[in-house]
A and B are shown apart, each in its own frame.
Chain A
Amino acid sequence: MAEGENEVRWDGLCSRDSTTRETALENIRQTILRKTEYLRSVKETPHRPSDRLSNTESSDGLNKLLAHLLMLSKRCPFKDVREKSEFILKSIQELGIRIPRPLGQGPSRFIPEKEILQVGSEDAQMHALFADSFAALGRLDNITLVMVFHPQYLESFLKTQHYLLQMDGPLPLHYRHYIGIMAAARHQCSYLVNLHVNDFLHVGGDPKWLNGLENAPQKLQNLGELNKVLAHRPWLITKEHIEGLLKAEEHSWSLAELVHAVVLLTHYHSLASFTFGCGISPEIHCDGGHTFRPPSVSNYCICDITNGNHSVDEMQVNSAENVSVSDSFFEVEALMEKMRQLQECRDEEEASQEEMASRFEIEKRESMFVFSSDDEEVTPARDVSRHFEDTSYGYKDFSRHGMHVPTFRVQDYCWEDHGYSLVNRLYPDVGQLIDEKFHIAYNLTYNTMAMHKDVDTSMLRRAIWNYIHCMFGIRYDDYDYGEINQLLDRSFKVYIKTVVCTPEKVTKRMYDSFWRQFKHSEKVHVNLLLIEARMQAELLYALRAITRYMT
């Protein structure tokens, strides 16, 4: 069979024109049928060794195609494509070929599938978002499906991501995906790594690079150090780091490229946080998202292996943890009460300046010790670990040694005034996009809390945002850090801390044990706050270093 015939073109499916989609699907059907025929014919003829080799190869290829079709049948925003791909799969099955089925329970392991919006039942606005996303990426990923709880944010998020990855920018396309892989690998996020490995190859990246950072060009290797520091201890970034990257002779980065890379790194660090924080399942068409085994054989779940020891965690949930409903009901009430109190007595009880300062220090120090008790060593899955070196370097290091985090004052360097201007100068339009995204994330509210309506949640949101910045040593002069202690209880702090600093250790138990009465959409909302605050914190440190380098 000629090479060209094997190529399946999926991009026709992204079209908004239904006839184009139909012809594209028809072509795919033809190709698949041809492949099946070929496979059958090979099977029937006596084997020669070389034949067998090509046989397994082509059956691999076919399986990939089928997995992709399966994904389409579940996740394509266009109804006609969903139906047709399902039909094709059925007809293949009738030919006696084994077809895949999806594994796991929907886009997220933490959120029951029924809570999440089903593709096909979205409203017009969401459908437009889905179609945009599908047109840009050729898929509708699980992250999108979870984020669609908050369509306003999702729109901004997709726009930014699309601009970062596909639109005009100083870096070549395959670099962008590779940087995404590097960043996600820092947190051992196999989900994002898998996605971007596919994209990286799709845009013509050299497969050799995927064997490890040492196989990538020197220029990208140089970025490794920044990636490492940025992910775990951004406050250590100095202008020397920047200088090292910009003045490396033939491997130098330009300022514009560096800003692009920094934005990508921070974007993927925080996206990794989201992936773990919401327990995003592997994509259907990626490894671990589907299986060719018939359902009865076993209920053995691959995704749990690739993503660490979650299945074990879930087993360990003991009855003591299951607090009764009334208990958790009180939690919400108590939180509301505290917010009310803070609102009222703010003016009466005036803390002295020293006390305010010490409150920040206390909160900062405490944040280091907030950790889940079960932090055994997790050996990262092998396929991910090869993308980065120095696995030992992590946030944990710093907290154990109780290292001093210097204080970064927002009033001296903030995103709105300084960061934005710098980014927009070096990478036009992106500053605007990120600015919008921060704004939406920070100001997003539906004025609800669990079962209560018409609640002003701004205080709570600000506490979460500032707590995260506090962990990174960023201080707001005009914030009373005592509020954090009042509003965020310990299990919530554990969750925040884990998601932001060591996302790979998030377990379903952590997810379930904070804010028990709150809706899933609210927990996703919290995650949005977490990732945006984290991204801003990292960006602030990196951009300040760049500014210092420039002056």
Chain B
Amino acid sequence: MEKMSRVTTALGGSVLTGRTMHCHLDAPANAISVCRDAAQVVVAGRSIFKIYAIEEEQFVEKLNLRVGRKPSLNLSCADVVWHQMDENLLATAATNGVVVTWNLGRPSRNKQDQLFTEHKRTVNKVCFHPTEAHVLLSGSQDGFMKCFDLRRKDSVSTFSGQSESVRDVQFSIRDYFTFASTFENGNVQLWDIRRPDRCERMFTAHNGPVFCCDWHPEDRGWLATGGRDKMVKVWDMTTHRAKEMHCVQTIASVARVKWRPECRHHLATCSMMVDHNIYVWDVRRPFVPAAMFEEHRDVTTGIAWRHPHDPSFLLSGSKDSSLCQHLFRDASQPVERANPEGLCYGLFGDLAFAAKESLVAAESGRKPYTGDRRHPIFFKRKLDPAEPFAGLASSALSVFETEPGGSAMRWFVDTAERYALAGRPLAELCDHNAKVARELGRNQVAQTWTMLRTIYCSPGLLPTANLSHSVGKGGSCGLQLMNSFNLKDMAPGLGSETRLDRSKGDARSDTVLLDSSATLITNEDNEETEGSDVPADYLLGDVEGEDDELYLLDPEHTHPEEPECVLPQEAFPLRHEIVDTPPGPEHLQDKADSPHVSGSEADVASLAPMDSSFSLLSVSHALYDSRLPPDFFSVLVRDMLHFYAEQGDVQMAVSVLIVLGERVRKDIDEQTQEHWYTSYIDLLQRFRLWNVSNEVVKLSTSRAVSCLNQASTTLHVNCSHCKRPMSSRGWVCDRCHRCASMCAVCHHVVKGLFVWCQGCSHGGHLQHIMKWLEGSSHCPAGCGHLCEYS
């Protein structure tokens, strides 16, 4: 066979010539096929069946095979194929299920040779054996493939695919006996022509019908398949299991696929619907077609390379009733029009982008990036040597790295590793986490933890020392930080200032304002809408004026509606350090949403912690009873979590969610929670913090998240006798028909939990082993090993 093809090459040695051209047919074409001399092409369709000669400048109609008085359905062709060994032999598949062969050597006008009416439904595909003169294969809608010997009147053998309609059949070019068939349900089968009883191999190649397949002309065992799922896949069939080598994603369902001669990785495709172009792909670059032919005005139904050893001529037939010859050099190349540019963020804030080389070179001459305001300043530009892509498009890759000092994500990793999320009382968790945050210099977060603890833990447990310490500290550093707060922090900052200023002479104020900061996110924003530059003394004055009144009102809980009364107390004197994020516009926006909360609800809320603070400092035990339940704060806590999440600190949101558990979960809708969880887990995994991410998954209550841990976890079991994997069931081996896992205690097969000793590899039912080892320390199998069970 190898010799054969060589011979053909020699025959076709004369160089093919021609140009891109097309001719009009009378009717839409369904399929085309080329004669082996590369000089004639046959076009078949519902109402057309003609042979055209391919000449230098044009197509010339040579023969009309559609003869006879009445149009017959036998002539309505779904497919046509020209024998590659015999120039006179053609076969067509008719839509009514008939397979017809044609002999051009017949002297009469009617060239019809034989008629096989064995298929019950439409025949989708016919295929001649590549080297055998008389063997024809057909695949039909009825699910059967039939092999005909043209010297006999009926089929030699019938192959039942047992999986719906056959869409394509193709003889292997290299293996004499093998053919592939594709099916409507997505399967591909490999058959041996001598064994009609069952297929050699079957696998699911596509989701939905597989419309076509093609064997690679050179590489033995490479099969390309195209399906309705818009994919072209290349399979290696030489291995034990069909292996997907390449996958090309097209924009429409793939109707035909044909390997390009002499180009190992190229194949041509056309589509069934919507898209009229023919593409030639390099399977190694599956995103942009190597070439594109745009001549047709309706879907292309048939494609064929003109000569099996010439890669530059492609013929195509289309529903728009035209036949085309495409020259590769006239093809449009989408690559030329594409922008070879890409941008990607690295995990640690690095930024890389690739751009056309010419573009980068031109710009770097002018050095526009160095001081460009569009790029953050801490990025340092490092030019990599240009990386050419397979000679088609060349682009330059640039990488910006963050300055070592500004490594922004360190805190994330530290926090993730050191936070305690469960296993201790809430108060301890909060304290621990607050401590961690403080040590990492994230004071706002630390403060939040302290607040949470105050809100949710019984006040009696609070160590007063800690609090007073904070107060003192706050007093000392309050002033100097004035200018660097963001708005969120500013208000409490300001408040604390006023408060502290005053508190020098007035001890009472401390008690009033201790931890009412629970409302800081909502209320004070209200006040501050005028802008971030409100002078401190303006506020100061304002607050001073109202404060006494407030203090008088508080114990009675009256007039909570008046915002003025309550404003000062939102300020939180405990706040001693402030995260130095620069004030940005987003904070202003945040404020806009908050006022509605601050109306009545939040005000009442803000009164509550004050009571607790009274009790803390033992100012008034009488008020202790009127303390509001933590439920009261849930709205605020929820808003706070949303705030953190929106700021990008999903870590905080999830950690709080886990630590507080039931206390807040019901207030936040499931989807948001799930969203937070998944983003946090995603981040953790990108930082390779597998342990932490696992812990988070485990602690999450959202069902979608917690099942992450259970998905795609497979335990493979090998048989203890033959060492082969046990695929179907875990306890009995298919090969040696032995039960693999016997319980050493009861000698029955273990089908559920199996526990075994890692020392002697004996084991059995979990309960049995447990019981056994309670009484004895030796292995129940009697091997003498001293097993341990922990």
Contacts and interface: CB of A to CB of B under 8 A. Distances in A.
B184 A357 contact: no
- Size category of the B interface is 20 to 34
Contacts of B122: 411, 476-478
Interface residues of A, number: 24
Enumerate the 7 nearest inter-chain pairs by beta-carbon distance, A residue then B residue, closest first.
Answer: A477-B95, A421-B273, A353-B72, A411-B95, A477-B96, A421-B253, A478-B122
Contact of A478 (B96, B211, B253): B96
B122 to A, nearest CB: 5
B288 interface: no
Contacts of B94: 477
Interface string B231-273: 0000000000000000000001100000000000000000011
Interface of A: 346, 350, 353-354, 356-357, 409, 411-412, 416-418, 420-422, 425, 432, 435, 476-478, 547, 550-551
A353 B73 contact: yes
A417 B211 contact: yes
Contacts of B96: 353, 356, 477-478
Contacts of B184: 416
B279 to A, nearest CB: 16
22 contacts: A353-B74, A356-B96, A411-B46, A411-B95, A412-B46, A416-B184, A417-B228, A417-B253, A417-B272, A417-B273, A420-B208, A421-B253, A421-B272, A421-B274, A425-B252, A425-B274, A477-B73, A477-B122, A478-B95, A478-B119, A478-B122, A547-B274
A478 B93 CA distance: 12
B509 interface: no
Nearest to A418: B273
A353 B299 CA distance: 29
A411 B98 CA distance: 14
B97 interface: yes
A420 B230 CA distance: 12
B598 interface: no
B70 interface: yes
* Contact residues of A: prevailing secondary structure: helix
B97 A551 contact: no
Contact of A421 (B46, B70, B228, B298): B228
Contacts of A409: 46, 95
A546 to B, nearest CB: 10
A353 B70 contact: yes
A547 B76 contact: no
Contacts of B72: 353-354
A412 B48 CA distance: 14
Nearest to A426: B274
A356 B274 contact: no
Interface string B276-318: 1000000000000000000001110000000000000000000
Given A417-B253, A477-B96, 6 more contacts: A353-B72, A353-B74, A356-B96, A409-B46, A435-B208, A551-B299
Interface in B97-145: 97, 117, 119-122, 141
Interface centre among A346, A416, A476 (most CB of B within 10 A): A416
A346 B120 CA distance: 10
B589 to A, nearest CB: 28
A551 B276 CA distance: 9
B209 interface: yes
Contacts, number: 71
Contacts of B28: 412
B78 interface: yes
Interface centre among B78, B121, B273 (most CB of A within 10 A): B273
A373 to B, nearest CB: 37
Contact of A350 (B73, B78, B117, B141): B117
Contacts of A432: 208
A478 B74 contact: no
A420 B228 contact: yes
A500 to B, nearest CB: 24
A477 B272 contact: no
Contacts of B273: 417-418, 421-422, 425, 547
B298 A551 contact: yes
Interface centre among B74, B119, B141, B320 (most CB of A within 10 A): B141
Contacts of B74: 353
A411 B76 contact: yes
A209 to B, nearest CB: 32
A354 B71 CA distance: 9
Contact of A357 (B73, B95, B211): B73
B70 A422 contact: no
A418 B28 CA distance: 16
B608 to A, nearest CB: 27
Contacts of B141: 478
Interface string B200-222: 00000000110100000000000
A389 B228 CA distance: 40
A516 B119 CA distance: 35
Contacts of B95: 409, 411, 477-478
Contacts of B297: 551
A478 B46 contact: no
A428 to B, nearest CB: 11
Interface string B34-48: 000000000000100
Interface in B42-86: 46, 70, 72-74, 76, 78
Contacts of A418: 272-273
Nearest to B119: A478
Contacts of A435: 208
Interface in B641-681: none
Contacts of A411: 46, 76, 78, 95, 122
Contacts of B208: 420, 432, 435
A478 B97 contact: yes
A216 to B, nearest CB: 31
Contacts of A477: 73, 76, 94-97, 122
A422 B274 contact: yes
Nearest to B273: A421
Contact of B120 (A350, A356, A357, A478): A478
Interface centre among B96, B120, B209, B297 (most CB of A within 10 A): B96
Contacts of B228: 416-417, 420-421
Nearest to B253: A421
Contact of B274 (A346, A354, A416, A550): A550
Interface in B390-420: none
Contacts of B78: 411
B257 to A, nearest CB: 15
Contacts of A478: 95-97, 119-122, 141
Contact of A417 (B73, B209, B276): B209
Contacts of A416: 184, 209, 228
A435 to B, nearest CB: 8
A478 B97 CA distance: 6
Contacts of B120: 346, 478
A353 B117 CA distance: 12
Interface centre among B94, B119, B253 (most CB of A within 10 A): B253
B31 to A, nearest CB: 12
Given A425-B252, A478-B141, A354 B298 contact: no
A425 B230 CA distance: 10
Contacts of B252: 421, 425
A411 B299 CA distance: 15
Nearest to B229: A424
A357 B74 CA distance: 12
Interface centre among A432, A435, A478, A547 (most CB of B within 10 A): A478
A440 to B, nearest CB: 14
Contacts of A354: 70, 72
